[in-house]
Amino acid sequence: MKLLQRFILYTSIIISVSVFVGFIIANFIYLAFVKEQMNSRYLAIAEQLAEQIEEHEITAQASSDFLQTMSRTGYQIALIKEDGEARTFGEDFRDYELNEEMLALFEGEPEYNGVRSFKNSYMMMSHFTNDIENTVGTTLDIEGEEWALFLRSNNTSFFTEFHLVILGFVLAVFVSSLLGIFLLSRKLTHSLSELTSATQEIAKHNFHYPLAIDRTDEIGQLADSFRLMQQRLANTDQARKNFINNVSHDFQSPLLNIQGYSELLSAEIASGDGKKYNNIIQNEARRLSNLTKQLLVLTSIDQGTYPVHKQQVRIDELLDGIVHSMLWRIEEKGLEITLDLHPATVYADPALLSNAWENLLVNAVKYNKEFGEISIHCREEPSVVIVSIADTGIGIAEDAREKIFDRFYRVSQERDKKGMGLGLSIVREVLTYHEAIVEVESELGKGTKITIVFPKQSG
């Protein structure tokens, strides 16, 4: 789950919990204080109404008119006789069945406190239950007949203009809070996304990615520290590249001298052992010379100083040429090679691509089984060009696949006695330079398949 989604989720949970806690506290206040006060207030009103009717000896019709007028001020009123005859004023109750406490009014009980004693499973919401049991009551005499008067405020009167204003205020605060939290989290996660992008670029050895974060809080301090680290890594990387470049150049002259004098010496040495040792000197000198050339290619690409000459290149023709130049190696090991090369064109540097194809094909030959197979496929699709090179060699362990393109990494010392772990590094640098994607599939003992996907670009 992304940070923005998680932040909104956690905020929603906090708001929900807060509403629940608020509901519990409101219930406690209602049950402990408000309910008793409401019961006393309603009972006082009911007793005053009964007193007014009895004191002025109002007729039954006049009493009905008087109570009807009172109901319009926001009350529900019911007059009920012991025999069940009932008159209602205002909103009707859901039912008129009297409980034992209400019937006790006809047996001399002075009052009925139904608001205080009424309960349901939602506690505070019992205030809105439209039940005659959820009232207060008293008795009165009208034209010599005993009646019970029950009263409560109706639900409509609860939602006065002021209550609507308060409700609107609460809803506006709630919506504004959610919107504010959403915008704040967007701003926060945007900065973190910038840091994530910068980290990914550093992982790709891009130490000059512009970090667009201008803040003075903790995230701003983190961004400043990140920029400092970025600068120091860039300086270190540049120093490393300069060192490799200088050393590679300095190695070339003595290596060429060693090779030249060794070749002259081999003509003068007659003994078998002397010739054998001289051949070892030549082979090791060639190995070091090849290493320095590869280092020069790598540092030139890294520093952007490699003389690039991009043009429209036929990948199939380039691959065919590399294969034919290496046929002696392929035949020497008894390998069978299959070519399925369809015409495909990309905008690229042919020299760099030749270097990459050569390294990949050398590996396919070097690590293949004797009398094994190599298959090379190339095809062009509307938006990409796909090249694959597969062999039936010894394969690569799963934990090593992510590292084979790292510089100087070798799967094992025994496997790479003659290598220095730079060939696939050059392949990755060349293909990254051409914005190509590399995928590796391999199984120990069965072989390796490397697939390269080039985007179609115009010159």
Q: Where along the chain do its domains lie?
A: 3-158, 218-303, 311-455
Q: H or E element: which one contains 2?
A: none
CA 438 and chain centroid, separation:
25
Give the three-class secondary structure for 136. strand
Dihedral (C-alpha) 7, 9, 11, 12: value to the nearest 10 degrees?
160
**Which pLDDT value is given to residue 82?**
85
Asked whether the beta carbons of 138 and 47 are under 8 A apart, the reply is yes
Bridge pairing between strands 373-380 and 384-391: antiparallel
Task: Using the structure block, give the residue that is written with the tokens 């008894």.
Answer: 334
**Which pLDDT value is given to residue 186?**
75
Exposure class string for 314-346: b at 16+ Cβ within 10 A, else e: bbbebbeebbeebeeebeeeebebeeebeebeb
Write down the pTM of the prediction. 0.44
**Which pLDDT value is given to residue 415?**
47
**Which pLDDT value is given to residue 108?**
87
Asked whether the beta carbons of 134 and 115 are under 8 A apart, the reply is yes
**Which pLDDT value is given to residue 143?**
85
> Per this entry, what is the length of the chain?
459
**Which pLDDT value is given to residue 338?**
92
In words, the CATH class of domain 218-303 is mainly alpha
Q: Pick from 390, 376, 385: which is nearest to 320 by CA?
A: 376
Mean pLDDT per block of 10 residues along the chain (459 residues) reads 70 80 80 84 91 85 89 89 88 85 90 85 70 90 90 75 65 78 75 83 81 80 86 77 63 68 67 66 68 66 64 92 88 91 91 87 89 93 93 87 74 52 79 88 91 80
Q: What's the CA gap between 175 and 181, in Å, rounded?
A: 10
**Which pLDDT value is given to residue 376?**
95
Q: Pick from 75, 210, 193: which is nearest to 134 by CA?
A: 75
CATH domain 311-455 topology: Heat Shock Protein 90 (3.30.565)
